[in-house]
Amino acid sequence: PVDLETWHRRLGHAGMTRVRMMAQKKLVDGMVIVGPTDNGPQECDSCHMGKAKRRPFDTVTTRESRILERVHVDL
C-alpha cells in the first residue's frame, strides 16, 4: 500500500481523480491507497512544471465553409 501521489507517478501521471476512481472500483489488483485521498486538488511537481492541464492547441471556434478557404504549408 502506497500514497496517492506514488500511484499517480506509477500510472504515468494519470489524473488524481482517475487514480482515486481506479482504487475505489478495484480496477487494479492490489491497488491500495494509504493516507488522505480526498483533500482537494493535489499538485504533482512534474505535472505542474509540464503544464499538463494546458491543451496543445486552441479550440477551433469557426470552421471554413469552402474547399481551400484555408491552406497550411510547411516551408
Give the per-residue pLDDT at 73. 92
Number of domains making up the chain: 1
pLDDT, one tens digit for every residue, the chain (75 residues): 899 889 999 999 888 888 999 999 999 899 999 987 775 566 788 888 877 666 667 777 788 889 998 888 998
What residues pair up with 33 in beta bridges, in sequence order?
A: 2
Give the per-residue pLDDT at 15. 86
15 vs 2, 19, 55, 56, CA distance in Å? Answer: 16, 6, 15, 17
Instruction: Report the alpha-carbon distance of residue 56 to residue 27 in Å, rounded.
Output: 30
Domain of residue 21 covers: 1-75
CA angle 44, 47, 37 (to 5 degrees): 35
Sign of CA dihedral 50, 52, 56, 60: negative
Give the per-residue pLDDT at 22. 92
